[in-house]
Structure 1
Amino acid sequence: MGPRNTADILLTNDDGYSSIGFYPVLHELSRHHTVCAVAPETQQSLVGKSITAHNHLSVEERLLEDLPILTVSGTPADCVQLGLYHLLERKPAMVVSGINLGVNLGHGYILSSGTIGAAMEAAIDGVRAVAVSMHIPPDPEPRIDLFDRNNFPLYETAAAITAKLVDILLNTELCNGFDLLSVNIPFDATLGTEFEVTTPYRASYGRLFDRADGTFRISLPPARFESTVPGTDAHAVAAGRISITPLSLELLVPQDTLRTLDRQLRNHW
């Protein structure tokens, strides 16, 4: 499969192309931009920034409703890699990852999320990136089928919010010091909903696996917002605000910490 010309935006996600969060944002972004949509063919939640190393990857052309997309037999980060280096003639102006089925709040989810992992992969290659997630109430009534196309409208407002932010990012010279944005949108947000620039909430997500019949199976606890810290992503969403969290790939600690650690280690080496 040869390159697909050029695109302003490379769009991917981690829930697979058939999730109800994908088409609405693809449709909304396509109204004013050229978009190359490259998504996993299956659910890839919680794979982080993993790269497929031991299997061959295949790419298929599909039609999602009225729009052409490409699906990949791999991870979200694979989708970005293939998009940047094989499926487009030149790198896009931005990579958008989402809209995720549920929030990605706090360190644990940020470091595990395939949605954010895809944005990290783009940022590593120097491409501006934003990862977008939407809160879904833990016990909605009626129960939401997250892969039923009849439920696309649930994500239309979040898609419009995403497009609004993308337009700002593409047309504004922003400050340095971050590599990507993680955006979390409340379930009932509107285009007029207030946003807050936040830091990640530092908290454990607790036990992840349940045991049954001698095996262990993932049982991800629903997102809860009790005892959150002001200024963090979780606190903002709990207050009904859109959380915009700048993230850096530097993975550095302050210089005074480096000097102190060096001195302490040398005293006992």
Structure 2
Amino acid sequence: MENQKPLILITNDDGYQAKGINELIESVKGLGEIIVVAPDGPRSGMSSAITSLQPLRIHLIKNEGDVRIYSCSGTPVDCVKLGISELAGKKPDIVLSGINHGSNAAVAVLYSGTMGAAIEGAVFKVPSIGFSLLDHDHNADFSATHKYTRMLTEQVLKDGLPAGTCLNVNIPKGEAIKGVKICRQTAGQWVNEFMPSKDGANKQIYWLTGSFENDEPHDEMTDEWALNQGYVSVVPVKVDMTNHDHLEMIKSWEKLV
């Protein structure tokens, strides 16, 4: 008889050995069959990058019960593509990415390998969620995340998501989480992004640093506000990046040629 359990594909951008992805696996055990395809090391900031100039290599790390874990030499998006196209055996019912060590709220969604993987799942028309914890420590305490990762995974398995849509979920650090807020992405940008320095040969180098400048710190509909108030933020993210309102505004340009 065919296995009727949901198939859950999990990946991340911190590598298959990261605490966050292993906590995510534990939090959704029992909800279905789990296949993990994750980078063999850190791939933060990869966004939707893919590997095109060299072959990808995978290694089976674990195959025990309902959990199968592979490491991959590529990016988070490579992992999703390989997982769906070559390794899963059938189309997954859901793609989970994370739990990322650090926030992916606001414009960080544009750079995030965690969210690049979730967006790729949506490209394949698979309901997908990217999870992040606002703690960069490699040994961060993820105990408070389990309730929310499991609940949201169960809800998406039950109700699905619109085609071309995934969820960007960020979780505050600490135990005193007030609940969940459905939000939109905060407007703002990173400033003072580089720290100039010198290398050993006295050549100019730059270290990536900076801080986020929030353009709307008091707007209660934004993810940054929710997180600052102690809520889990949930933002629906679309693959379609078309500005449909402006599309109509510039339609007249067709007549200029």
Which TM class, normalised by the smaller chain length?
Answer: 0.7 to 0.9
Which residue pairs with 2:250 in the alignment? Answer: 261
1:183 deviates by 0.4
**Matched residue SS, 2:188:** coil
Matches within 5 A, 1:186-205: 186-189=172-175, 193-205=178-190
Distance 2:236 2:126 in 1: 15
Whole-Å separation in 2 of the counterparts to 1:212 and 1:228: 36
Q: 1:30 to 1:223 in 2, by over 3 A?
A: farther
The Cα shift of 1:121 comes to 0.7
Kindly report which structure 2 residues correspond to 1:212-231, keeping only aligned pairs within 5 A, or say none.
212-213=197-198, 214-219=204-209, 221=211, 227-231=217-221
Q: Could you tell me the percent identity over the aligned residues? A: 27
C-alpha RMSD of the superposition: 2.7
Write out aligned runs for 1:97-246 (5 A).
97-107=97-107, 109-136=108-135, 144=137, 146=138, 148=139, 154-172=141-159, 176=162, 179-189=165-175, 193-213=178-198, 214-219=204-209, 221=211, 227-246=217-236
- How many positions carry a matched residue from both structures? 247
- Which 5+ residue runs of structure 2 have no aligned equivalent? 199-203
Provide the rounded CA distance (Å) in 1 between the counterparts of 2:123 and 2:186: 23
Partner-residue secondary structure (3-state), 2:31: coil
How many Å separate the matches in 1 of 2:121 and 2:163? Answer: 16
Asked whether the 8 Å contact 1:103–1:223 carries over to 2, the reply is no
Closer/same/farther in 2, CA of residues 220 and 26 from structure 1, 3 Å limit: farther
Deviation string for 1:171-228 (max 9, x for gaps)? 1256x476100001111256x7321111100111113222211122222547989835
1:159 & 1:45 partners in 2: Cα distance?
Answer: 22
Contact 1:225 1:235 survives alignment (8 Å): no
Query: For residues 17 and 185 of structure 2, what CA distance do their matches in structure 1 show?
Result: 29
> Take 1:112 and 1:36, find their aligned partners in 2: how far apart are those partners?
25
Corresponding letter in the other structure for 2:144: T
* Alignment-derived partner of residue 3 in structure 1: none
Cα–Cα, structure 1 residues 263 and 86, in superposed 2: closer, same or farther, change >3 Å? same
Q: TM-score, normalised by structure 2?
A: 0.86
- Output the CA distance in 2 between the equivalents of 1:73 and 1:15: 12
Partner amino acid for 1:187?
Answer: K
Q: Normalising by structure 1, report the TM-score.
A: 0.82
User: 2:201 is matched with which residue?
Assistant: none
- After superposition, the C-alpha distances for 1:85-110 in whole angstroms (9 at most, x for unaligned) are 01111111000001000111112x10
Secondary structure of the structure 1 residue equivalent to 2:224: helix
